[in-house]
Amino acid sequence: MTKSKVIFKINKQLDKEMALEFLNVQAGGIDFNSGIFEVHPELSILKSTRNKDDKKKIIDKHFNNFYYKYKEYLEKRVKEFQREWDLVEKGFFNEAFQIFKNFSFKSHKYTGYLSIIDCNPRFLKNKSFQVFYMHPQGVRYVTSHEVLHFIFFDYALIKFPKLFKKLKTESGSFWDLSEIFNSVMHQQKSFIKIHDKVSNYFYPEHKKYLSKAEDYWQQYHDIDQWIEGMYNYLNK
């Protein structure tokens, strides 16, 4: 098995960009506005701000002040993220390696960026993601969730190019499939040991598929059969 590693960092500029991007985003039955305004009620003025440049100025000022004021605390949180993930990293990649049939992951290096907003996007191109610094599920859960996405998309595109090559990874059936897969995996005993969370997070729109997805996994315990079976089920 190849060595894989997740490194945690701070990236204030990325955080600002994501705050602007997620102002009016809804997906899977979730309104991401709440991850900004409930955490930073001072930014509620953005709701009535129409000009994009003005929005950027408001975000810049608030984020600069926050990162300056809580600099030591945020740096401490990043170190805590790293220590906590390092405890389970080997077990996670061992489990993923088995599920994906010794698949040679395209990327063995992943980056997790601390975020002061609760939006938690991922970036497939450079295998990075954001983690809200006070995320209720914890860094183990978020990290295992996002890295599973990276591996799942790489695997599915290589094994089933005819099914997925032309599909989007952030919307539609390919995205649905990846989120449903993660929901099933998070409830397996091996993953509960990793992230220490019995409760499962899922998008409301996917709830109706979870029972069938779990049944398929218990029936096959085979990633290829599960992908084909659930893909056909979602698209029938």
Query: Which value, in Å, is the radius of gyration of the alpha carbons in the chain?
Result: 18
- ∠ Cα 227 230 233 (to 5°): 150
- Mean pLDDT calculated for residue range 165-188: 92
Domain membership flag for residue 112: yes
Whole-number average pLDDT of the chain: 92
Find, among 5, 28, 4, 10, the residue nearest to 130 by Cα: 10
78-134 residue pLDDT tens = 999 999 999 999 999 999 999 999 887 656 899 999 999 999 999 999 999 999 999
Domain that holds residue 134: 76-234
In this structure, the strands spanning 109-115 and 128-132 are: parallel
Domain membership flag for residue 53: no
Domain membership flag for residue 125: yes
| Number of domains making up the chain | 1
Domain membership flag for residue 176: yes
- Mean pLDDT calculated for residue range 42-59: 96
The predicted model scores a pTM of: 0.92
Domain membership flag for residue 36: no
Contact 91, 74 (CB under 8 A): no
Domain membership flag for residue 57: no
Q: Helical H runs in 87-122?
A: 89-99
Q: In what order do the strands lie in the sheet with 109-115?
A: 5-10, 109-115, 128-132, 122-123
Domain membership flag for residue 137: yes
Q: For residues 190 and 192, what is the distance between their CA atoms, to the nearest angstrom?
A: 6
Domain membership flag for residue 81: yes
pLDDT band at 77 (very low <50, low <70, confident <90, very high): very high
